[in-house]
Structure 1
Amino acid sequence: MKFHTRKWVKPEDLNPNKTLFGGKLLAWIDEEAALYSIIQLENSHVVTKFMSEINFMASAKEGDIVEIGLDVVKFGNTSIVLKCKVRNKMTHETIITVDQITMVNLDSNGKPKLHGKNQIEYVSERLSKKEPGV
């Protein structure tokens, strides 16, 4: 799993128990899944369709640093399915796992759009495909 983003847990991210608010963490995951999907599908019109069962295993407290990791499970015709793991860099514990996050590629009218992708692409690979001087 590749860990793409780190977040610093600040006072405004805490619940009344003084630990990381689950809703804040889910918002971070959703944003990271959207950004990852936008880059992979090369389309800024991507939405979350489905998120599977969420398994909270540990938490984080103020000052902790959490990392969000994503991997592609599969490419659909108009979607990309991801899995996610969030870990606490300070305690080395897994905070949460999400087995499936389905992101859907949309056209300008908000309808599902074929994306033609079937494997992960990295920016360096895309750059090498372009002709010199383009």
Structure 2
Amino acid sequence: MRFHTRKWVKPEDLNPNGTLFGGRLLAWIDEEAALYTTIQLENSKVVTKYMSEINFMSSAQQGDIVEIGIGVKKFGKTSLTIHSEVRNKMTRETILTVDNIVMVNLGEDGKPTPHGKTKIEFVKDRLSNA
């Protein structure tokens, strides 16, 4: 799993308990999943279809830095299934895991369309092949 994004926990990210609000964290994960899928499928028209069980394991406080990791599980015909882990850089604890996030590739008509991808590609490899 590669950790692509870091977020600094700020006052506006906290719940009434003074810890990172789960909804904020899920929004960050959803955005990271969309960005990752857009880059992998080379299409900005992707949507989240499904998120499996979300397992909260620890929390984060104001001032902590969290990292969001994404890994590919499976390439489907019109989808990409990924998993995510979020960890606290300050405490080194895993905050949350999501086993399956299904992202769907859309065509110009807004309907699922085949993406033709079968493996992870890195931008540096695409540039060297150009």
TM over 0.5: yes
- Show the counterpart of 1:43: 43
Matches of 1:69 and 1:75, distance apart in 2: 18
Structure whose alpha-carbon radius of gyration is higher: 1
- Show the counterpart of 1:6: 6
- Show the counterpart of 2:66: 66
Is 1:21 the equivalent of 2:21? yes
Matches of 1:102 and 1:94, distance apart in 2: 22
- Show the counterpart of 2:99: 99
Q: Which runs of 5+ in 1 are unaligned?
A: none
Deviations 1:86-108 (A, max 9, x none): 00000000000000000000011
Matches of 2:55 and 2:111, distance apart in 1: 31
> Residue 96 of structure 2 aligns to a residue in which SS?
strand
With normalisation by structure 2, the TM-score equals 0.99
Structure 1 stretches of 4+ with a deviation exceeding 3 A read none
| Identity in percent | 72
> Residue 109 of structure 2 aligns to a residue in which SS?
coil
Tell me which amino acid in the other structure corresponds to 2:46.
V
CA RMSD of aligned residues (A): 0.4
Matches of 2:67 and 2:31, distance apart in 1: 13
Is 1:84 the equivalent of 2:75? no
Matches of 1:69 and 1:76, distance apart in 2: 21
> Residue 59 of structure 1 aligns to a residue in which SS?
coil
Is 1:129 the equivalent of 2:129? yes
